[in-house]
């Protein structure tokens, strides 16, 4: 049967009081060999949302027509809105980014088609 050791209990009481006061006890030989926890952010950054996902269906249609080279009056007539609305929307950075993305994709597809034509 274990015997009560007053010296050990006072040592434990001092350690608990030290932690309560905000002071951590010194590391022991065992503590030094424990694996260190991985540090991770508590609020990791959200993945970037593509511009197209933030645009309404109407604005995606505007971007597609702009990428195809349609003029503002042509786009307005196609979608049944005013030319002023098209002009206003055409200043939006997210719409312009989507137009550039679509134009780059169209250019890439055109280049692939031309390459295929000239290989045959």
In the three-class reduction of DSSP (H, G, I as helix; E, B as strand; rest coil), residue 115 is classed as helix
- CB-based contact 99:52 (threshold 8 Å): no
Top CATH class, 51-119? mainly alpha
CA distance 54 to 6: 68
What's the Cα-to-Cα distance from 112 to each of 37, 65, 71, 115, 116, rounded to whole Å?
50, 21, 26, 5, 6
The H or E element that residue 101 is part of is helix 93-119
What does the pLDDT profile of the chain (120 residues) look like in tens digits? 556 566 666 776 776 776 667 666 666 666 666 677 676 666 666 665 565 567 899 999 999 999 999 999 999 999 999 999 999 999 999 999 999 999 998 888 887 777 777 776
């Amino acid at each position: 049967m274990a015997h009560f050791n007053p010296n050990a209990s006072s040592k434990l009481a001092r350690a608990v009081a030290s932690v309560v006061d905000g002071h951590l006890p010194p590391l022991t030989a065992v503590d030094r060999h424990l694996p260190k926890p991985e540090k991770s952010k508590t609020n990791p950054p959200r993945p970037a949302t593509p511009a197209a996902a933030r645009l309404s269906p109407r604005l995606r249609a505007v971007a597609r027509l702009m990428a195809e080279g349609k003029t503002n009056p042509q786009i307005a007539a196609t979608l049944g809105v005013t030319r002023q609305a098209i002009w206003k929307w055409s200043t939006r950075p997210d719409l312009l980014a989507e137009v550039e993305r679509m134009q780059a994709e169209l250019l890439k597809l055109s280049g692939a088609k031309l390459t295929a034509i000239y290989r045959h």
